[in-house]
A and B are shown apart, each in its own frame.
Chain A
Amino acid sequence: MIRFKIRLALILISASVLLLFGYISSPGQELEAPPEPLPAPPTNVVISDDPNDDGHTTIVSWQLSRDDGAGLNNVMAYEIFRSTSPEGEFLQVGVMGKGLDSYIDRGEKEKTRNGEPNPRYIGAGIDYYYKMRAKSTTGTYSEFSELVVGQAKNNWYHTGKTNIMIAVLIFSGLVIYFITAAKRGKELYVRPIAGIDAVDESIGRATEMGRPILFVLGTGTAADLATIAGYTILARVAKMTADYQTKVLVPVNEPVMLAVAQETVKSAYMEAGRPDMYDEQNIFYVTAMQFPFVAAVCGLMIREQTATNFYMGIFHAESLILAETGAITGAIQISGTDQLAQLPFFIAATDYTLIGEELYAASGYLSKEALLLGPVKAQDYAKVILLTLLGLAVITWSFGWGFFKSLISTIS
């Protein structure tokens, strides 16, 4: 007990002495901290053009501050500033972490914003002034680096996509070759496609039931490849409906698509020798907004009791709503799209589905025209070339040889 008291007394005395010492050593005013050493600025700042862009990007590169990873070792980041004149207001355009020695300055493409000059705009052929500074871990800054100037250039050729250009040229050559061959009378075989074989049967059923046919060209635009493939199938369907005297309804969601669809159906009716049966009112514009369009089409299916529904083109979240409503009405449904996310719904809810490329091939298969069969054949040959390349690239890459892999590598 005595020992404990002695210890307690000693602790109390020590604490008092320390407190007293602290009081004496700080006579009512704070001591000035020694000035913190500032980091050295980055050096050799260089502005260069991004080699594969449309003139709105520059690349800023620099030599690291001598206090980045060495020296004082207190650099935390680099701040990059840009201006259109050396005396002008400098805008901070980017921050890069320590150890990094370049920054891609992606400028905006609009010169003005809300009627005011856009400070984030970068245009080709304009001088841009840059300066940089290093920021320390305690929030202090180095001096600015030297002012440097550079320009962005409008590059006409993307060096990272040469292989794509060659592929497009080879593919175009194959298309021209096969179209020419077909025109000269060479027979080009295309295997049967289940969904397309069902077209005739489904139109016949609608005729027997005395009900109309619904053709939806999707919610894409008139110029989408899948929509263009849809026009060809629409032409075939319209020609048959003209022959069978069955009504075909085509609701569309885009004004240009309306014009193309009307022209397609009109031409098909003329080709069938029944221009008198063509009724422009059956191909009509609903609205461009996705779900209001779908609500209207669903209502149409129920009220018109369509016997056959075609969905050919680009579809989004509405695919299942359309297909399920069509299934409720008991219609035969044939769908086709190249939208991967929507294909599962069409497969689940419609009777026949043209999967991706089948939609494009269908147009050639249906028409048997040289102009449409040629590309289908060219695609097949292109696939053989690509599969060979893929095989070679995988095998050689497994042994560490990257030549074939580099042939199919691109830079975005």
Chain B
Amino acid sequence: MTTVELLWNGLAAFLTLCIFSFLYKDNPFYKFAEQLVAGVALGYWTMLLYHTTFTDKVLIPIFQQGKLHYILPTIMGIMMWTRFSKKLAYLSRIAIAFYIGVGTGVALPLYMYNYVFRQLQATVVPLQFSWLGLNSLLMVSFVTCTLFYFFFSKEHKGTFGGLSKVGIYTLMAGFGASFGLTVMGRVALLVQRIIFLREYFIALFGS
């Protein structure tokens, strides 16, 4: 490890330890690391937005490529700034409404495709007198019970309540598996960080 690498890795190791110190309690080291990372991220993101949005989506298309229709969304963007004026603040609402309206409109068919049709398609499996058939039957039954749980027009009582309870147990079983899987991933990240610290200290003090 060169001296420069040692210095940079030293800073990374110090900040890692600062963040880990939060496990004990809030302290000045954590506050320093937190405010440093939030400040750097804010500055970095501002410049990134300037280059990827303002330069690439406004300056270059309008002034270099002559795409004048880009002026419309630019005006919408400028309207967002009118929030700072009491007289013109209402204009910012138009831009916000447009942004959220378009977002929702685009999302609706995509949700219908990804979260409804593709899921249904995958659930349609033939029922057979075999282990595979039993698996299919269980899958269809659990999907049905889970959908019962998300039925809001009827109180969950009696048979309907029992079925929706099966639905929530199904969900919990799925969440449990997902929890275990993700925790394993997080442990891998922790191990990676500990290896980084170990290698740094070995480079610094020798094995």
Of A228, A259, A408, which one neighbours B92 at CB under 8 angstroms? A259
Looking at B38-46, B190-198, B199-207, the stretch in contact with chain A turns out to be: B38-46
The residues in B between 112 and 131 inclusive whose CB is less than 8 angstroms from any CB of A are: 112-113, 116-118, 120-121, 123-128
**1/0 contact string of A132-162 vs chain B (CB within 8 Å):** 0000000000000000000000000000010
Contact A288 B121 (CB under 8 A): no
A108 at interface, CB cutoff 8 A: no
Contact B182 A164 (CB under 8 A): no
Chain B residue at smallest Cβ distance from A172 = B108
Most buried by A among B26, B31, B118, B186: B26
Contact A408 B96 (CB under 8 A): no
Of A345, A356, A393, which one neighbours B124 at CB under 8 angstroms? A393
- Bound complex: CA A345 to CA B179 (Å): 7
Contact A189 B176 (CB under 8 A): no
A222 at interface, CB cutoff 8 A: yes
B183 to chain A, nearest CB (A): 9
Report the tally of A-B residue pairs with Cβ distances under 8 A: 165
Contact A410 B155 (CB under 8 A): no
- Bound complex: CA A185 to CA B77 (Å): 40
B111 at interface, CB cutoff 8 A: yes
Contact A167:B37 (CB < 8 A) given known A189-B153, A380-B153: no
The residues in B between 79 and 138 inclusive whose CB is less than 8 angstroms from any CB of A are: 80, 83, 92-93, 96, 99-100, 102-104, 107-109, 111-113, 116-118, 120-121, 123-128, 136
Chain A residues contacting B128 (CB-CB under 8 Å) are 398
Chain B residues contacting A320 (CB-CB under 8 Å) are 186
**1/0 contact string of A214-239 vs chain B (CB within 8 Å):** 00000001111100100000000000
The residues in A between 61 and 111 inclusive whose CB is less than 8 angstroms from any CB of B are: none
Contact B153 A190 (CB under 8 A): yes
- Bound complex: CA A393 to CA B121 (Å): 9
Contact B103 A295 (CB under 8 A): no
Contact A377 B153 (CB under 8 A): yes
Contact A225:B171 (CB < 8 A) given known A390-B143, A410-B117: no
Contact A225 B38 (CB under 8 A): no
Chain B residues contacting A9 (CB-CB under 8 Å) are none
A279 at interface, CB cutoff 8 A: no
Contact A191:B155 (CB < 8 A) given known A164-B109, A228-B100, A292-B40: yes
Interface residues in B, total, Cβ within 8 A: 63
Of A168, A256, A287, which one neighbours B99 at CB under 8 angstroms? A256
Looking at A13-21, A36-44, A242-250, A381-389, the stretch in contact with chain B turns out to be: A381-389
Contact A398 B126 (CB under 8 A): yes
Chain A residue at smallest Cβ distance from B154 = A191
- Bound complex: CA A91 to CA B72 (Å): 38
Contact A292 B144 (CB under 8 A): no
Chain B residues contacting A223 (CB-CB under 8 Å) are 99-100, 102-104, 107
A260 at interface, CB cutoff 8 A: yes
Contact B99 A228 (CB under 8 A): no
- Bound complex: CA A376 to CA B38 (Å): 39
Most buried by B among A161, A358, A383: A383
A263 at interface, CB cutoff 8 A: yes
Contact B111 A191 (CB under 8 A): no
- Bound complex: CA A383 to CA B150 (Å): 9
Contact B38 A302 (CB under 8 A): no
A182 at interface, CB cutoff 8 A: no
Chain A residues contacting B83 (CB-CB under 8 Å) are 259
Contact B144 A361 (CB under 8 A): no
Give me the 6 closest cross-chain CB pairs, A-B, nearest first: A223-B103, A292-B41, A344-B179, A289-B41, A344-B175, A287-B41
Measured CB to CB, the residues of A under 8 A from B are: 161, 163-165, 167-168, 171, 188-191, 193, 221-225, 228, 255-256, 259-260, 263, 286-289, 291-293, 295-296, 298-299, 302-303, 320, 340-341, 343-345, 347-348, 355-358, 361, 365, 376-377, 379-380, 383, 386-387, 389-391, 393-395, 397-398, 405, 408-410
4 further interface pairs, Cβ-Cβ under 8 Å (given A224-B103, A287-B42, A387-B147)? A296-B35, A340-B178, A357-B150, A408-B120
